[in-house]
Structure 1
């Protein structure tokens, strides 16, 4: 079983800014293909903070108490009778959403688009900020001995970055611009570097973030001015020597000025990917999109092969996710950690599970 303790203390959100610690029943195996994990570490994501502060994200509304958290790694403490690839004591990174496996999207390998997705901490499903969590075996990724559980918790945002970078079709020798230097933006830079991009430009309005980006994976950084998106785009291209523009531009900020500038940065025939969510509707430079025949794509979570590639990038040392960890706090300090993240302090904060000593 488990030598960490048996508490299933959970961090539960009832409505905006109304959270409490609640001892819930330990999950049980409902399928022979499932495992039970003791959660060791959970990262705080921007979506977790959004639910905590707003009680909703778009159409997903917290109507009943919900356990927060989805960026987790844990230890296998129970296995179903049909489980073949995991055993008691295995340390795993948890992919926190599983699909129906039967719809057209799933069968095409795009299970992130499944309409029947069970995703942790997305209403009505509980998240992973708890002592224990049940998961299908095939959505748990065994960590090599040299990869820590803290690194395992960061595979979730890295998998997001892997999917975005795949959507951008980044190739060796290309120039890539990443708008936004939060955790996912930084990781997009790192994945682009692993893919062989030559010039990787990180763009943000916060100098401290760009200082870190320059030491992490970006080859260049740039701070936009308070001018039009077209002027910012032209200035970026000129000042960073991008010629006709960048081969790929990724926006993970979700900010309207950033998105507007992006379409003026990408070159003719280039690729633009929207990875960050912002306002439902914005003013968009459609003329630039059309006349340059830009390929524009959305990006949502991760899909087939993304988590496995994220683990390979960490295990091989190509992406050092440890550097993003600003702090690790005790479970009872979870609310204070959420406040800190909302205030923009640090890069990535991890919360140790209630049984972690």
Structure 2
């Protein structure tokens, strides 16, 4: 899709057909010349990603210092790189990217008891305030003061070393690799979505969008007991991948709103039964309209993707059929289950990692270019 269209949909301003640099955003290379003994990957401008010195925060009593080993690229990282914003959140200064991460502990704070130097851990990226009503009721992903890796103004985890609360570092069993540990973050989105939609044994599930999150949601739905899963996408290669990973059938769709009814009929035929739950892993007017129209009466629609900031939807008709509309934001209380699913091999995500790159300037540029291009790239991983 044209960058200007994406920026407009996500609240960005347009100048001469291009996304406008957020007000006040300046990259001053002289600020990053001091050798800190640590390097990180910054977004410094449109399509400008650089490996630069990064001064990590001081180690607190309840923190651990981690030597990062595996970090995946998320769609939000690409949005910041291509548009200097993600939805309505704009960068004010260069920022370290990354939030899908795992590494090895190299130092612990004096009050840390549950982890030791040498432990392999997956990092849960959001640090909630633990004081607000959302945190107290267990909905820490809705905390308004959460500090989330790679979400302005918080720097991300695509660095050689980071410091993080020990309570948010989850020890990995021997049978779970560091790459799988890094994948716990996107896998958590699928787990949270399936929990919100109450996926149970025997469910018939439709997934709109065969990107990384759509594929992971499919795998989780299957692990939760879904007996039939149909996946749609506008890309035949993505649909082939979905079939390879266990989709019962797939439907190729277009971005043309005029083809809505014909495509809905094709999806219904592919399902071979009424659709209990539809996951919209794209987040456009067309995909949500499709989801609301095709899900059975009394069923559920879960909005996972958020490509369009605003939509015009047939909610009245859906409400009359008692179709529940659910939303999710990131995830909460998912890492233990994710690690259990990976350790038991109920979910195998190794094949989702399609490309691997090192940590040099050239490798970093190549990695982001491959991820942004899509196509055969599902999950791009950096190895440090």
Answer yes or no: same fold by TM over 0.5. Answer: yes
Aligned equivalents of 1:278, 1:237: Cα separation in 2: 24
Matched, 1:330 2:361: no
- Kindly provide the CA deviation profile for residues 131-156 of structure 1, in whole angstroms up to 9, marking residues without a partner as x: 11111111111110111111111111
Residue of structure 1 equivalent to 2:343? 315
**2:116 aligned residue:** 87
Partner of 1:264: 293
Tell me whether 211-220 or 231-240 shows the greater mean CA deviation.
231-240
1:289 CA drift (Å): 1.5
Select 1:20's aligned residue among 40, 50, 64.
Answer: 50
Task: Give how far 1:183 is off.
Answer: 0.8
Cα deviation for residue 230 of structure 1 reads 3.8
Counterpart among 369, 372, 378 of residue 347 in structure 1: 378
How far apart are 1:238 and its partner, in Å? 3.0
2:228 and 2:271 in contact (8 A); partners too: no
- The residue number in structure 1 matching 2:63 is 34
In the alignment, is residue 224 of structure 1 matched against residue 249 of structure 2?
no
Q: Per-residue CA shift, 1:218-238, capped at 9, x if unaligned?
A: 222112254443442233113
The normalised TM-score by structure 1 is 0.93
Shift of 1:95: 0.7
Q: Structure 2 regions of 5+ residues with no counterpart?
A: 1-35
**Deviation by residue 1:248-283 (Cα, 9 ceiling, x = unmatched):** 000011232222111112100001100001121122
User: Corresponding residue for 2:199?
Assistant: 170
Where do 5+ consecutive residues of structure 1 fail to align? 1-5
In the alignment, which of 231, 238, 241 is matched to residue 272 of structure 2? 241
Give the SS at the match of 2:192.
Answer: helix
Aligned to 1:11: 41
Instruction: Flag the 1:322–1:216 CA change in 2: closer, same or farther, 3 A.
Output: same
Describe the SS at the equivalent of 2:365. Answer: helix
Give the equivalent residue in structure 2 for 1:65. Answer: 94
CA shift at 1:200, angstroms?
Answer: 0.8
> C-alpha displacement at 1:7, in angstroms?
4.4
**Bigger mean CA deviation after superposition, 213-222 or 84-93:** 213-222
Out of 79, 82, 103, the residue aligned to residue 50 of structure 1 is 79
Q: Which runs of 4+ in 1 moved over 4 A?
A: none
Residues of 1 paired with 2:41 and 2:270: CA distance? 47
Equivalent of 2:165 in 120, 124, 136: 136
Q: Whole-Å Cα distance in 2 between the matches of residues 213 and 239 of structure 1?
A: 14
Partners of 2:45 and 2:39 in 1: how far apart?
Answer: 19
Instruction: Map residues 134-213 of structure 1 onto 2, 5 A cutoff.
Output: 134-213=163-242
Report SS of the residue matched to 2:345. Answer: coil
Instruction: Indicate conservation of the 8 Å contact 2:128/2:140, yes or no.
Output: yes
For residues 193-227 of structure 1, what are the alpha-carbon distances to aligned partners after superposition, in whole Å with 9 as ceiling and x for unaligned?
A: 10111111111111111111112132221122544
Across the aligned residues of Structure 1 and Structure 2, the Cα RMSD in angstroms comes to 1.4
The correspondence for 1:288, drawn from 296, 312, 317, is 317
- 1:288 & 1:143 partners in 2: Cα distance? 47
1:99 paired to 2:120: no
Secondary structure at the aligned position of 1:331 is classed as coil
| TM-score between the two structures when normalised by the length of structure 2 | 0.87
- Structure 1 residues 47-67: Cα deviation after superposition (integer angstroms, max 9, x where no partner): 000000000112321111210
Higher relative contact order (CA 8 A, sep 6+): 1
